[in-house]
Chains A and B, each alone.
Chain A
């Protein structure tokens, strides 16, 4: 029965993604500093901010930029990503990346339940504006406690205009859109070349007096996984949290498990810009599949080069494929790509949805025979193909 196998793969991928999400950003955080492994010394094969209080490993994008900042080459991080890429291509984006999982979830959530995401975001932003300076120079709470009523009302109105304007996007009736392959190539090439490679290599930040990881300053994964949890955690006494691994430390104390400083008053204009960008990008996620992976992610860009020759990859047999007449793969694809299109290879995240669903078996997994146990051969789905042929004709 074709429906059963579709359901099974989606379910399996969902579970793997959930496990990777919990592993990378959740319950296994204690492994980050636990000897002898100390996982935080290893870059993970996915994009997750290493300032996430629950991050189990290091961020590959952050690691690479750090070595560029210091003027050295990140041999280990690049070698590690290349090993994963040489074997699995971009599959870790589709199966493991926590930020990719979040994007999948936000896109999949039904129209009727989107208000849940909206409400959570609004509550978080209200809390952040209440406790942090954001754009104002001091928090709303502080203004109120000091009796600066005029200033309080002024900034309250400005926040309503700024964030209310951004949130109003959620009420616009905008059709779901696709970011084309060419546009996303230009976008991700820009984010890879400028804020990820050239600026960390050559541009000194006058504020810090050193070179800086410029991509991190723009990264929404950092805002979602690190900034917001760090600010929320800072609302509670440190003694409430287990002492090991959890990075609720002072930014000015290296390895600083011994010191604790409230970071909430330090969130200023840059923080305001980051949370504004997060609102915008969450809105985009509700309308376009994996927009960040397609248009921005530098780790995805690195992996995508391996998609052309990796040991495991998906290819399409163009002689069998019905292309526009069928489009089953396009509808199923979490990256919103047409597998048969020229230029879509580098965007494929190897989720295997198209391979399972293609009624013509035109989408195939290429893999070495020693990996057959992991990707078993699939029988030809004649029944589903017959149904589709009737539909097309």
Chain B
């Protein structure tokens, strides 16, 4: 490759971050402050929940197998949908 084209490649202009992230940032900031309304009620609720041991997280208590079965069935449906509509990648699962 000629030396001058290397330099050209090295000088390729940097892409700008655009402006969408600024809009999203301010929307997110608004959501955050909205969550803090009523003197941080949402934070208090998160703190109260976080300080209670989450039975689901650590697998305590009983589980309803009907609902778990529904989740499993829906998962199979999604995977079948992948096999049907996943395109060329569906035939290329490398395991």
Q: A79-B31, A255-B51 are in contact. Are A273 and B63 (CB under 8 A)?
A: yes
- Report which of B17, B25, B62 forms a contact with A207, defined as CB distance below 8 A: B62
The verdict on A90 contacting chain B, using a C-beta distance below 8 Å, is: no
Interface size class of A (residues with CB under 8 A): 35 or more
Interface size class of B (residues with CB under 8 A): 35 or more
The verdict on A294 contacting chain B, using a C-beta distance below 8 Å, is: no
Q: Which of B30-84 contact A (CB under 8 A)?
A: 30-36, 40, 42-64, 66-68, 71, 74-75, 78-79, 81-82
Interface stretch, picked from A9-17, A140-148, A209-217, A345-353, is A209-217
**B12, B36, B67, B94: which has the most chain A beta carbons within 10 Å?**
B67
B51 touches A254 (CB 8 A): yes
Q: A187-B78, A389-B1 are in contact. Are A182 and B57 (CB under 8 A)?
A: no
A186 touches B34 (CB 8 A): no
- Report which of B9, B42, B51 forms a contact with A76, defined as CB distance below 8 A: B42
A199 touches B59 (CB 8 A): no
- Report which of A180, A223, A313 forms a contact with B92, defined as CB distance below 8 A: A180
B48 touches A186 (CB 8 A): no
- Report B-chain residues with C-beta under 8 Å of the C-beta of A267: 59-60
Contact with B along A73-86 (1 / 0, CB 8 A): 01111111111011
B43 touches A42 (CB 8 A): yes
A86 touches B59 (CB 8 A): no
A310–B23 CA distance with the chains assembled, in angstroms: 11
- Report A-chain residues with C-beta under 8 Å of the C-beta of B87: 182
Write 30 A-B pairs (CB below 8 A) sorted by A numbering.
Answer: A33-B51, A40-B50, A66-B45, A75-B32, A76-B31, A76-B43, A79-B35, A82-B31, A83-B32, A86-B24, A175-B95, A180-B92, A186-B79, A190-B74, A203-B67, A212-B56, A222-B54, A222-B59, A223-B59, A226-B57, A231-B58, A249-B53, A251-B53, A251-B60, A255-B48, A256-B51, A267-B59, A268-B62, A270-B59, A320-B12
> Taking beta carbons and an 8 Å cutoff, which residues of A are in contact with B?
32-33, 38, 40-43, 49-51, 55, 57-59, 62-63, 66-67, 70, 74-83, 85-87, 174-175, 177-178, 180-183, 186-187, 189-190, 194-195, 199, 203, 205-208, 212-214, 216-219, 222-223, 226-227, 230-231, 247, 249-251, 254-257, 263, 266-275, 306, 309-313, 315, 317, 320, 360-361, 364, 366-368, 377, 380, 382, 389
Can you list the 3 inter-chain pairs with the closest CB atoms, starting with the nearest? A76-B35, A79-B31, A82-B28
